[in-house]
Amino acid sequence: MTTYNKMIFEVSQPGRIGVDLPTSDVDPVTLTDKFPSHLLRDSEAELPEVSELQLMRHYTALSNKNYGVDSGFYPLGSCTMKYNPKVNEDIARLDGISRIHPYQPEETVQGALQLLYELQADLAEITGMDEVSLQPSAGAQGEWTGLMIAKHYHKQNGQNRTKVLVPDSAHGTNPATAAIAGFETVTIPSNEAGLVDLAELKQHVNEETAALMLTNPNTLGLFEKDIVEIAQVVHEAGGLLYYDGANANAILGRTTPGKMGFDIVHLNLHKTFTTPHGGGGPGAGPVGVTKELAPYLPIPRVEKNGDQYTLNTSEKLSIGRVKGYYGNFGILARAYTYIRTMGPDGLYQVSESAVLHANYLKKRLEPYYATPYPQVCKHEFVLSGSKQKKLGVRTLDIAKRLLDFGYHPPTIYFPLNVEEGLMIEPTETETKETLDAFADTMIAIAKEVENDPQMVLNAPHTTVIGRLDETKASRKPILRYTKED
Amino acid sequence: MNILLTKPALNQLKMMHFSDSYLPRIDAQISGGCGMGVRYLFTFDQPRKIDTTVTIDNIPIQIDYTTKRYLEDEQVTIDYRDCFEVITALDIGDYC
């Protein structure tokens, strides 16, 4: 079944059925009596006709093609593809969590509200912020919510600040978010060490600056050691400091964005806090802010009055609602479970292991791949395929070759300021054996590039579908299946 | 792949001096992250292993394996205005 590559329509045989329906005990209805003729189809719907076993094998084969953290190593830089403990799933499926309704009276969902309230408090402590909203349902929505808070804050203070500064090592969503929130983006170049160039920053910060969006550690996996001075420069100009905390693995329990001087933070619970990740959601991108910005957080907000948990919907300065109901509750329940099962010591261990694993892999791969930023990294690091490029093999080819060995490739060609970049984030949940096996494979590929480059250039060899032409797929997409007569 | 040099591009290239470590190249510049994009640049650098060299009017143009694979069925035009431009049905990349 590993080579099975059919569509359900191709398996179909006329007249074959998988289920016998019982004889109907109601009188048949003629559709033409009930609906106007122009609403009725002219021919039978072309549904696949297969046996139950065929159906089962078809979808099992499809599911076997899926790749996730549960199937193998997934070192996708900037994505934190770490193991999601299954206890999270057990908790999220409890009746008291999965079978309640957002319109239930508050007094009947006190436990759920308590969970949300305590998760807000946990995330506030983890980020060093004063207040947190759990409403945003994705990282990018968290970014947008944060920038809208900044916008309303400046407006309330009578200031028209139109520019958001974004370093060139930022997450790609940052400039897009700034544009969607109605700001003009100003790119701040990195210096030779891969960090924010302070001189450039000072040159661009002014009375038009609404905020600086910063990821720390940045996407090169490097800690912005000048963060205190950066915060000072932005604050002195009246701007706010925004922390993109999508990947917070490196700082858990070590430091907080609050201590670094940030005013607004978003977290991706589906990265750092082990809720399911990939395939477009559902996710959660809570936003934390300082006390000064708390009135602008989305409503409703979960509050505690005495021993009762309530929803506050009447904050006058709030930017309003950014998501239906109270966020993706099932995802929030998973993150809460993770934080509570790990505890402070466990989260502290996360950052230690995440950073150790990244540096271990980096050291093992350094002799074989160029390392444009050789200093100690945090949770991830970026190699360059520039050596291999001179031998006629590109980073894209190396990524494809990794598929032959059963690995999901690292993030490639990002950040954009690294030639032929390979961005590797091993995460804390992998064993040394896994890290070594991956390193051995990367080293073997580097040797193949020297000795048998065609093997790499024509990869993948073992997947059901071989090398795709991504540009043709985007230029001439075939989006509709047409059944052959 | 069919490569066409426009007259301004050819004139400009004929005025340039090439060495073994400085030859014209059509190069795929790939950008990634969550998605993937490919632009094509006209640049100058040293030969890479497994390059294909196409000679047009005595001008050698290098193309690496990956770039060639992307442009295999394409008409590629090299033009020169203030800089070299690679014009394909896919994208336009320049080198100034």
User: Tens digits of per-residue pLDDT, A332-344?
Assistant: 999 999 999 999 9
Indicate the residue of A391, A392, A411 with minimum beta-carbon distance to B32.
Answer: A411
Tell me the C-alpha distance between A181 and A216, whole Å.
22
| Predicted local confidence at residue A133, as pLDDT | 97
Q: Residue holding tokens 């950008």?
A: B31
Percentage of the residues of chain B whose pLDDT score is greater than 70: 93
DSSP-assigned letters across all residues of A75-116: -BTTT------HHHHHHHTSHHHHS--TTS-GGG-HHHHHHH
Q: pLDDT for A392-414, tens place per residue?
A: 999 999 999 999 999 999 999 99
Q: In chain B, what residues touch A469 (CB-CB under 8 Å)? A: 69-70
| Predicted local confidence at residue B93, as pLDDT | 53
Task: Name which of A90-94, A333-337, B16-20 the model is least confident about.
Answer: B16-20
Categorize the per-residue pLDDT at B38 as very low, low, confident or very high, splitting at 50, 70 and 90: confident
Categorize the per-residue pLDDT at A481 as very low, low, confident or very high, splitting at 50, 70 and 90: confident
Minimum distance, in Å, between the CA of residue B90 and any CA atom of chain A: 7
Categorize the per-residue pLDDT at B35 as very low, low, confident or very high, splitting at 50, 70 and 90: confident
| Predicted local confidence at residue A485, as pLDDT | 66
Within chain A, all domains assigned CATH 3.90.1150.10 are found at 351-473
Does residue B20 carry a pLDDT above 90?
A: no
Mean pLDDT of chain A: 94
Q: What is the mean pLDDT of residues A371-376?
A: 95
| Predicted local confidence at residue A381, as pLDDT | 97
Categorize the per-residue pLDDT at A130 as very low, low, confident or very high, splitting at 50, 70 and 90: very high
| Predicted local confidence at residue A410, as pLDDT | 97
Contact B70 A413 (CB under 8 A): no
DSSP state of A294: G
Contact present, A379 and A355 (Cβ < 8 Å): yes
Interface check A392 vs B, CB under 8 A: yes
Q: What is the mean pLDDT of residues A173-185?
A: 96
Categorize the per-residue pLDDT at A1 as very low, low, confident or very high, splitting at 50, 70 and 90: very low
| Predicted local confidence at residue B36, as pLDDT | 79
Its sign, for the CA torsion A356, A361, A366, A371, is negative
A123 contact partners, CB below 8 Å, separation of at least 6: A129, A132, A134, A267, A286, A288
Contact present, A50 and A58 (Cβ < 8 Å): yes
Tell me the C-alpha distance between A384 and A369, whole Å.
6
| Predicted local confidence at residue B90, as pLDDT | 67
ipTM of this predicted complex? 0.90
Indicate the residue of A392, A470, A471 with minimum beta-carbon distance to B50.
Answer: A392
Does residue A189 carry a pLDDT above 90?
A: yes
Minimum distance, in Å, between the CA of residue A417 and any CA atom of chain B: 10
Q: Compute, in degrees rounded to 10, the torsion defined by CA atoms A434, A440, A442, A443.
A: 160
Q: Is A371 exposed, middle or buried (0-12, 13-18, 19+ CB in 10 A)?
A: middle
Indicate the residue of A390, A391, A413 with minimum beta-carbon distance to B30.
Answer: A413
pTM (2 decimals)?
0.91
For chain B, report the end-to-end CA distance as a whole number of angstroms.
Answer: 24
Domain coordinates of chain B in residue numbers? 2-95
Q: What is the mean pLDDT of residues A242-261?
A: 96
Q: In chain A, what residues touch B50 (CB-CB under 8 Å)? A: 391-393, 453, 457
21-80 in B: which are within 8 Å (CB) of A? 28, 30-34, 36, 38, 46, 48-51, 64-66, 69-70
| Predicted local confidence at residue A53, as pLDDT | 95
Opening angle at CA A28, ends A25 and A33, nearest 5: 150
Interface check A412 vs B, CB under 8 A: yes
Categorize the per-residue pLDDT at A280 as very low, low, confident or very high, splitting at 50, 70 and 90: low
Tell me the C-alpha distance between A109 and A23, whole Å.
43
Interface check B81 vs A, CB under 8 A: no
If we measure between CA atoms, which residue out of A131, A97, A127, A101 comes closest to residue A117? A131
| Predicted local confidence at residue A279, as pLDDT | 65
> 3.40.30.10, 2.60.120.380, 3.30.420.40, 3.40.640.10: which CATH number matches A86-342?
3.40.640.10
Name the β-bridge partners of B86: B78, B93
Minimum distance, in Å, between the CA of residue B14 and any CA atom of chain A: 26
Question: CA nearest B40 in A: which residue?
Answer: A471
| Predicted local confidence at residue B96, as pLDDT | 47
For chains A and B, CB pairs below 8 A equal 57
Q: In chain A, what residues touch B51 (CB-CB under 8 Å)? A: 392
Does residue A304 carry a pLDDT above 90?
A: yes
> Strand B84-87 vs strand A301-305: parallel, antiparallel, or unpaired?
unpaired
Does residue B95 carry a pLDDT above 50?
A: no
The CATH code that applies to domain A351-473 is 3.90.1150.10
Q: pLDDT for A26-83, tens place per residue?
A: 999 999 999 999 999 998 888 999 999 999 999 999 998 889 999 999 999 999 999 9
Indicate the residue of B31, B32, B65 with minimum beta-carbon distance to A392.
Answer: B65
Interface probe for B, chosen from A81, A171, A413 (most Cβ of B below 10 Å), is A413
The CATH code that applies to domain B2-95 is 2.60.300.12
